[in-house]
Amino acid sequence: MTSVGKLLEGSGFILAPGVYDALSARAARRAGFEALFVSGYSVAASLLGEPDVGLLTQTEVIDAARHICRVVDCPVIVDADTGYGGTLNVVRTVRELIQVGAKGCFLEDQVWPKRCGHMMGKKVVPMEEHVARLRAAVDARGSADFFIVARTDAREATDSLDEAIRRARAYKETGVDALFVEAPRSLDELRTISREVTPPFVANMLEGGVTPILEREELRQLGFKIAVFPLTGLFAAARAQTEVFAHLRASGTTRDVLDRLLTFHDFHQLVDLEGRLALDKRYRVG
């Protein structure tokens, strides 16, 4: 399997959709994406039916990553929130993510319980506290192929892009692989991040969030090397289900909306029914 670092070599660029379970991961991989991002927001919504306000546990996130890594053959980067506690919790988080097959994670500097990066009312821990977390994460991965992204939410928490950049520079000194300044509010702020932060750095393209949505080439020209679209799949699935369920409730049938559904055959292709039947045939007696 290609590593995250390998994908970024030279002019490489990672465009990663947010996934939240094995089925969404299969759909994204089928579309041809070379790397996937496990979105905490999306896992909270799909697993718990709850908003991204720090309700997910370490165990739930690692379990989601396990199911996703099992069904895809490309790097999976996991939103590991704050690491779920102090430095010892961060060590456990990183080691267990490596064990289930993940190839990277994001670690943020919010106070727990955290919130979605584009929600108001966030708070961040002292910079030195997150530096310690990141050092623990770097040590915990050892020689494993595991890409660590240091995220700061100081832009929204302190209303200061300068503070976010100051933190990002300090986080880079811990030995992490990439930096992520969350929630810039304009194209000018994206340009400032590109100018002031050591690459590689990450852009978070969240529909309806505070950061303008740019195209891949626009981000590449600004110097960004990774762009995650964490909620695209979740929002698309939620809208499709909401609309089709409403239609079924009102009309009593799906006969006239079949063009909005995968066919029985296409769905079996998505979940690799033929592969499973072939495996069963290989071991069948008689």
DSSP string, 115-163: --TTSSS--B--HHHHHHHHHHHHHHHTTS--EEEEEE-HHHHSS-HHH
Q: Is the entire prediction scored with pTM above 0.85? A: yes
Q: How confident is the model at residue 121 (pLDDT cuts 50, 70, 90)?
A: confident
pLDDT of residue 285: 79
Percent of the chain with pLDDT over 90: 93
Averaged pLDDT for residues 126-149: 98
According to DSSP H, which parts of the chain are helical? 4-7, 22-30, 40-43, 58-71, 87-99, 127-141, 154-157, 161-172, 187-196, 216-222, 232-251, 264-270, 273-283
49 pLDDT more than 80: yes
What's the pLDDT tens digit per position in 231-244? 999 999 999 999 99
Residue ranges of the chain assigned to CATH 3.20.20.60: 4-230
Closest CA to 76 of 84, 67, 85: 67
Choices 3.20.20.60, 3.40.50.2300, 2.30.30.60, 3.40.50.12240: CATH for 4-230: 3.20.20.60
pLDDT digits (tens, 9 = 90+) for 65-86: 999 999 999 999 999 999 999 9
